[in-house]
Amino acid sequence: MVIATPDPAMPHLRACHLYDETYVLIGRQGHPDLKPGLTIENYVRLEHIVVSRRGGNFETPVDDALGVLGYRRNVVMSAGSFLFIPEIVSSSDLVALVPRRLFRAQSERLMIIDLPWLSERFDIGLIWHERCHGHAGQRWVRELIGKLMVEGEDDAPRA
């Protein structure tokens, strides 16, 4: 099981919607170029770290969308998980686009910048393999996670 954005190109996986998410930009406290109201032009000039689950990929769907608008961001590093991002970003001038809920409790070390021009919401789901669908223990865990997500919605930021 994994909590992530479901990939429709993987029909052997099942998924259930947990919540809608948005991205925010994070950087270290005191980063000289991070200010509210950051323009796209200033955003793409920053040095970025991206997350690539496939490893080593320096382009994401965000880069595809920026390309359509005629922009290319300066991606200098790729990490395998969002869990590595806070340490890297808090001790450098790198910035990262991350899911809001994942980093909202780390504002003492990180600046969190809303990007109004990047307000599209995306799906976060619980994903599991088809062969585990009928497994009673896994079904119980899936139901528990779903219940916890519903209970936690009162704490979630509103867009």
Query: Is 159 part of any domain?
Result: no
- Classify residue 41: in a domain, yes or no: yes
pLDDT confidence of residue 84? 87
Do 10 and 56 lie in one domain? The reply is no
Is 3 within 8 Å of 127 (Cβ atoms)? yes
Q: Quick one: 56 and 127 in the same domain?
A: no
Domain span including residue 89? 23-120
Q: Taking CA 72 as the corner, what is the angle to CA 68 and CA 75, rounded to the nearest 5 degrees?
A: 135
Report yes or no on 158 lying in a domain.
no
User: How many Å apart are CA 9 and CA 46, to the nearest integer?
Assistant: 32
Please tell me the predicted confidence (pLDDT) of residue 154.
56
| pLDDT tens series, the chain, 159 aa | 998 888 888 888 999 999 999 999 999 999 999 988 899 999 999 999 998 876 667 788 888 889 999 999 999 999 988 888 999 999 999 999 998 888 776 667 899 999 888 877 888 999 999 999 999 999 999 999 989 987 776 555 444
**CATH number for position 112:** 3.40.190.10
Q: Is residue 156 part of a domain?
A: no
Q: Are residues 35 and 8 in the same domain?
A: no
